[in-house]
Amino acid sequence: MKKEELVKQLEAAKTLSSQVDIDKVIVLIQQLETEKKSGFTQELADEIAGRIERCLDNNCDDLVDKDNAEFSIGYGNVIELDSCQINVYDTMDHITACLDEFVVEEDDVVEPEQNEGTAE
């Protein structure tokens, strides 16, 4: 049940009677709370993953710690890469910047307007 549905049901009950049974209100509020889901949709997850992938692809030069890469000379005088670390700080900086685009600040959330005469 969504908030709007709860308000409509309470307004409908208000038109039938000037008094609303508290037990009915409690049951409706419990229904409202049990249907809340945390997380986000698959579509949003795909969009976030796509943006992170594009960001990392566009900034791939920043992702590898080239200063500490270790090489050796292999058979036939071939240069081989023995180890190379990921620059975790820069990688996370790029990922955090992508995720920040999806963050909604509490100040930006639009609160539904309350009708006059209703209690807060």
Buried/exposed 33-65: b ≥16 CB within 10 Å, e otherwise: eeeeeeeeeeeeeeebeebeeebeeeeeeeeee
Q: Determine the Cα–Cα distance for residues 70 and 72; give it in Å rounded to an integer.
A: 7
Measured between alpha carbons, how far is 4 from 12 in angstroms, rounded to an integer?
A: 12
Amino acid 119: pLDDT = 46
Q: Which residue has the tokens 């080239």?
A: 66
The mean of the pLDDT values for the chain is 76
pLDDT of residue 75: 92
Which pLDDT value is given to residue 104?
A: 75
pLDDT tens digits along 86-120 = 888 888 888 898 888 888 776 655 544 444 444 44
Can you give the pTM of this predicted structure?
A: 0.50
Q: Which residue stretches of 3-119 are H helix?
A: 3-16, 22-34, 42-58, 88-100
Token pair, residue 39, equals: 């997380």
* pLDDT tens per residue, range 11-33: 776 666 666 666 677 777 767 65
pLDDT of residue 76: 92
